[in-house]
Structure 1
Amino acid sequence: MVVSAHPLASEVGAAIMRRGGNAMDAAIAVQFALAVVYPDAGNIGGGGFLVLRQKDGRTDALDYREKAPAAASRDMYLDEAGEVVEDLSLKGHLAAGVPGTVDGMVAAHRKYGSMPWRELVQPAIALASNGFPLTAKEAAKLNRQQEDFLEYNTQRPDFILRENWEEGDTIRLPELAQALIRIRDQGRAGFYEGRTADLIVAEMVRGGGIISKEDLAAYRSMWRRPISRQVGGYKVISMPPPSSGGIALVQLLTISENYPLHEWGWNTLKTAHLMIEAERRVYADRAEHLGDPDFYEVPVAELLDSAYIMSRMEGVSLEKATDSEDVSAGVPAPAESPHTTHYTVVDTAGNAVSVTTTLNSSFGSKVFVAGAGFLLNNEMDDFSVKPGYPNSYGLIGEEANAIAPGKRMLSSMSPTILEKDGQLFMAVGSMGGSTIITTVYQIILNVTRHGFSMQGAISAGRFHHQWKPDWVLSEWGALGFGTGLGLWVMGHKIAPKPGGIGRAAGILVLPDGRLEGGADPRGDDAAAGF
Structure 2
Amino acid sequence: MIKRIFFLFILVGTCGCMHRELHEVGLVTNKAMVVSAHPLASAVGAEIMKQGGNAADAAVAVQFALAVVYPDAGNIGGGGFLVLRQQDGSTAALDYREKAPAAARPDMYLNEEGEVIEGLSEKGHMAAGVPGTVDGMIKLHARYGSLPWAMLVQPAIDLAANGFPLTQKEARKLNDYRLDFIRYSSIRPEFILKDNWEEGDTLRLGELAQVLERIRDQGRAGFYAGTTADLIAAEMKRGGGLITKEDLAAYEAIWREPISGKYENYNVISMPPPSSGGIALLQLLHITQNYPVAEWGLHTAPSAHLKIEAERRVYADRAKHLGDPDYYDVPVRGLLDTAYIRRSMADFSPGKASDSDKIAPGVPVPPESPNTTHYSIVDPAGNAVSVTTTLNSSYGAKTFVAGAQFLLNNEMDDFSIKPGYPNSYGLIGGEANAIAPGKRMLSSMTPTILEKDGKLFMVVGSMGGSTIITTVYQIILNVTAHGLPMQGAVNAGRFHHQWKPDWVLSEWGALGMKTSLSLWWKGHKIVPKPEGGIGRAAGILVLPNGKLEGGADPRGDDAAAGF
Aligned residue for 1:509? 542
Q: Distance in 1 between matches of 2:262 and 2:185?
A: 48
Work out whether 1:72 is the aligned partner of 2:77: no
1:334-366 CA distances to partner (integer Å, 9 max, x unpaired)? 2345x3100000000000000000000000000
* Counterpart position of 1:92: 124
| CA positional deviation for 1:310 | 1.0
Aligned equivalents of 1:72 and 1:240: distance in 2?
A: 24
Give the secondary structure class of the aligned counterpart of 1:159.
helix
Which structure has more RCO (C-alpha within 8 Å, separation ≥ 6)?
2
- Secondary structure of residue in 1 paired with 2:417: coil
Q: Does 1:489 align with 2:521?
A: yes
Residue identity matched to 2:206: P
Determine the structure 2 residue equivalent to 1:284: 316
Equivalence for 1:236: 268
2:392 paired with 1:335: no
Aligned mates of 2:406, 2:347 — CA distance in 1: 50
Deviation at 1:231, TM superposition (A): 1.4
User: Could you tell me how far apart the structure 1 residues matched to 2:246 and 2:445 are?
Assistant: 27
Instruction: Tell me the amino acid that sits aligned with residue 469 of structure 1.
Output: P
Counterpart in 2 of 1:201? 233
Structure-1 residue corresponding to 2:29: none
The structural deviation recorded for 1:55 is: 0.2
Q: 1:348-497 to 2 correspondence within 5 Å?
A: 348-497=380-529
Q: Partners in 2 of 1:342 and 1:128 — Cα distance?
A: 21
Q: 1:144 aligns with which of 163, 176, 183?
A: 176
| Count, aligned residues | 529
**8 Å CA contact retained: 2:260, 2:269:** yes
**TM-superposed deviation, 1:230:** 1.3
1:212-251 counterparts in 2 under 5 A?
212-251=244-283
Question: Structure 1: which amino acid aligns with 2:374?
Answer: H
Which residue does 2:93 correspond to in 1? 61
Is 1:164 the counterpart of 2:196? The answer is yes
What is residue 555 of structure 2 aligned with on the other side? Answer: 522
Match of 2:545, as an amino acid? D
For 2:173 and 2:415, locate their aligned partners in 1 and report how far apart those are by CA, in whole Å: 26
What code does the residue aligned with 2:427 have? L
Once residues 152 and 101 of structure 1 are traced to their aligned partners in structure 2, the CA distance between those partners, rounded to angstroms, is: 22
Which secondary structure state, in structure 2, belongs to the residue aligned with residue 322 of structure 1?
coil
TM-score, normalised by the number of residues in structure 2: 0.94
Amino acid in the other structure paired with 2:367: A
Q: CA deviation at 1:315?
A: 1.2
What CA distance in whole angstroms lies between the structure 2 residues aligned with 1:333 and 1:444? 27
CA distance in 1 between counterparts of 2:424 and 2:366 reads 33
Matched AA of 2:337: D
- Whole-angstrom distance in 2 between the partners of 1:25 and 1:335: 37
Unaligned runs of 5+ in 2: 1-32
Q: Give the C-alpha shift of residue 212 in structure 1.
A: 0.5
What CA deviation, in whole Å up to 9, does each residue of 1:178-199 have, x standing for no partner? 0000000000000000000000
| Partner in structure 2 of residue 81 of structure 1 | 113
Alignment of 1:308 onto 2:308? no
Describe the SS at the equivalent of 1:240.
Answer: coil
Question: Which among 1, 25, 44 is matched to residue 76 of structure 2?
Answer: 44
* Counterparts of 1:334 and 1:410, CA distance in 2: 21
* Partner SS for 1:291: coil
5+ residue gaps, structure 1, are none
Q: Which residue in the other structure is 2:14 paired with? A: none
Q: Secondary structure at 1:148's aligned position in 2? A: helix
Q: Is the 8 A contact 2:447 2:462 kept in 1?
A: yes
Q: Secondary structure at the match of 1:496?
A: strand
The CA distance in 2 between the partners of 1:310 and 1:73, in whole Å, is 38
Partner of 1:296: 328
Q: 1:122 aligns with which of 144, 154, 162?
A: 154
Distance 1:333 1:205 in 2: 46
State the distance in 2 between where 1:164 and 1:456 align: 35
CA distance in 2, matches of 1:464, 1:174: 41
User: Residue by residue, what CA displacement relative to the aligned partner does 1:273-315 show, whole Å, maximum 9, x if unpaired?
Assistant: 0000000000000000000000000000110111111110001
How far is 1:6 from its partner?
A: 0.1
The answer for the alignment partner of 1:101 in structure 2 is 133
What is the Cα deviation at residue 428 of structure 1? 0.1
Corresponding residue of 2:12: none
The AA in structure 1 aligned to 2:330 is: V
Report the Cα distance in structure 2 between the residues aligned to 1:333 and 1:407, rounded to whole angstroms: 25
- 1:33 is matched with 65
Residue of structure 1 equivalent to 2:25: none
Secondary structure at the residue paired with 2:192? coil
Question: What's the counterpart of residue 205 of structure 2?
Answer: 173
Show the counterpart of 2:22.
none
Matches of 1:350 and 1:260, distance apart in 2: 32
CA distance in 1, matches of 2:539, 2:441: 26
Rounded Cα–Cα distance in structure 2 between residues aligned with 1:148 and 1:261: 45
Deviations 1:459-510 (CA, angstroms, capped at 9, x unpaired):
0000000000001000011100011011110000000012200000000000
Q: Distance in 2 between matches of 1:334 and 1:295?
A: 17
Q: Percent identity?
A: 77
Name the aligned partner's letter for residue 462 of structure 1. Answer: R
Q: Distance in 2 between the 1:23 and 1:336 partners? A: 36
Give secondary structure in 1 for the equivalent of 2:137.
helix
Residue type of the partner of 2:323? Answer: G
Task: Answer with 440-449 or 327-336: which moved more.
Answer: 327-336
Q: Which residue of 1 aligns with 2:220?
A: 188
Residue aligning to 2:5: none
Aligned-pair distance for 1:156?
1.1
Name the counterpart of 2:377: 345
> Residues of 2 paired with 1:333 and 1:405: CA distance?
29
The separation in 2 between residues aligned to 1:4 and 1:75, in whole angstroms, is 38
Q: What is the CA–CA distance in structure 2 between the aligned matches of 1:126 and 1:316, rounded to whole Å? A: 55
Amino acid at match of 2:538: A
- TM-score, normalization: structure 1? 0.99
* Amino acid of the structure 2 residue aligned with 1:450: H
- SS of the aligned residue for 1:11 comes to helix
